[in-house]
């Protein structure tokens, strides 16, 4: 693959999981990478695993804060010049029952999972359009952005939003030299199921409440036994090189998309039938 050779990529959530695997894969394919994360200790360790100090730089970045993302964008351009690939990958999970989720926790997950993506696009897109060298924006959503389950309303809401936002962005950029992809994986090995310990309602105190959620143990088992982040990262780079918009990884998840489609069309047709009787 030569599409990434001597190009510059910016990756949020790069200290672990998919973000780290993407950074490793990008460097392996010849790219220069700015690894961004809020976790300074793990970020430094992740960069040291990759090595290649001439191709890898790190920056502490809070994806939930616009000023932090803008500062990271400037630092990336100062270090490597034009940026060609932006991976808005940072994300957290939050489970709970509707009516029993703190509003400040809702704001927390929206700020990271949705606005973190928006901040990345707004910080990088104008410069990408100006340098005229082409590029690609890659937003991490989830299969949770295509169908829903109970006890995960905040996560589903943000991931559905990222899918819709990415679709709109792709329409705006159609015909330009800047592509868009949205990542929609199911189970990829990471520690995302423990991300909720950082939510504001916990306020730094030990938290076990997420583990009493009905979906916690099943989700943890599925993630722990999921696809390796390294394998998924290679799929992502192949998909970007082929200018593919949606990036899926799970053959078993298609049934859920089909089911949602059928439910939508059934109600759509039923409503139109009812309209015939309304004058």
Residue 269 lies in a domain: no
Q: What is the CATH number of the domain that holds 127?
A: 3.40.50.720
Tokens 């939050």 label which residue? 94
Residue 139 lies in a domain: yes
What are φ and ψ of residue 60, in 5° steps? -75, 125
Residue 17 lies in a domain: yes
Q: Is 155 a residue of the active site?
A: yes
Residue 2 lies in a domain: no
Per-residue pLDDT 10s for the chain (279 aa) are 358 999 999 999 999 999 999 999 999 999 999 999 999 999 999 999 998 999 999 999 999 999 999 999 999 999 999 999 999 999 999 888 999 999 999 999 999 999 999 999 999 999 999 999 999 999 999 999 999 989 999 999 999 999 999 999 999 999 999 999 999 999 897 766 566 667 888 765 545 555 566 666 666 666 666 789 999 999 999 999 999 999 999 999 999 999 999 999 999 999 999 999 998
Which domain range does residue 101 map to? Answer: 8-251
Residue 268 lies in a domain: no
C-alpha count within 13 angstroms, C-beta hemisphere, residue 72: 34
Residue 122 lies in a domain: yes
256 CB neighbour count, 10 Å cutoff: 16
Residue 273 lies in a domain: no
Domain count across the chain: 1
Residue 276 lies in a domain: no
Task: Spot the catalytic one: 119, 155, 165, 216.
Answer: 155
């Amino acid at each position: 693959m030569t599409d990434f050779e001597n190009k510059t990529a910016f990756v949020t959530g790069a200290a672990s999981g998919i973000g780290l695997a993407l950074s490793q894969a990008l460097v392996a394919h010849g790219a220069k990478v700015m690894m961004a994360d809020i976790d300074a200790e793990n970020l430094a360790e992740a960069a040291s695993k990759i090595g290649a100090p001439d191709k890898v730089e790190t920056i502490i970045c809070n994806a939930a804060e616009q000023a932090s993302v803008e500062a990271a964008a400037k630092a990336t351009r100062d270090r490597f010049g034009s940026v060609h690939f932006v991976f808005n990958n940072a994300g957290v999970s939050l489970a709970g029952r509707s009516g029993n989720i703190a509003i400040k926790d809702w704001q927390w997950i929206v700020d990271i999972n949705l606005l973190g993506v928006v901040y990345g696009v707004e910080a990088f897109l104008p410069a990408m359009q100006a340098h005229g060298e082409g590029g690609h924006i890659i937003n991490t959503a989830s299969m949770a952005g295509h169908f829903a389950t109970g006890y995960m309303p905040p996560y589903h809401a943000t991931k559905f939003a990222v899918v819709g936002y990415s679709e709109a962005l792709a329409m705006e950029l159609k015909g330009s030299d800047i592509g868009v992809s949205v990542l929609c994986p199911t189970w990829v090995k990471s520690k995302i199921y423990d991300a909720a310990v950082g939510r504001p309602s916990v306020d730094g105190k030990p938290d076990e409440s997420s583990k009493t959620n009905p979906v916690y143990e099943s989700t943890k088992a599925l993630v722990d036994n999921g696809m390796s982040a390294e394998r998924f990262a290679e799929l992502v780079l192949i998909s970007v090189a082929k200018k593919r918009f949606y990036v899926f990884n799970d053959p078993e998840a298609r049934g859920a998309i089909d089911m949602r489609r059928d439910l939508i069309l059934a109600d759509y047709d039923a409503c139109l039938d009812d309209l015939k009787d309304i004058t």
